[in-house]
Amino acid sequence: MIFALNVLAPPYARQGALTALRFAQAAIHSGHQVNRIFFSGDGVLNGSALGIPPQDEINLYARWQLLAVNHQVELVLCISACLKRGMVNESEQSRYGLKHNNIAEHFIVAGLGQLAESTIVADRILTFG
């Protein structure tokens, strides 16, 4: 089965982001495919390159990136949600004349079309809030 996930939850304020990560890991280890994880709303904060959790907590930022690298899962951040929350990639940094970008490696920034395409390709789409 092919799954697509939509993550609305920020990394540490609620349980949704961790639950989404664990679901993706369990699905992959059970032989299913997770082709894309779309982060929207406060969920885009999972793609921050600047988050540093305490050492005694799970580093969700790093775990998402490991998932992408180890299992070729596409991590997509909603561009409008990113801009509202002060998150920019190199392209938006240049466009707005900013000094820095702050999107973590292995995350891409795209529009809602990516989420729409996920609903077509996947057998199931699950939302974690």
Catalytic residues: 78
**b/e sequence 56-91, b meaning 16+ C-beta within 10 Å:** eeeebbebbbebbeeeebbbbbbbebbeebebbbee
Write down the H helix ranges in the chain: 16-29, 60-71, 79-84, 90-96, 113-121
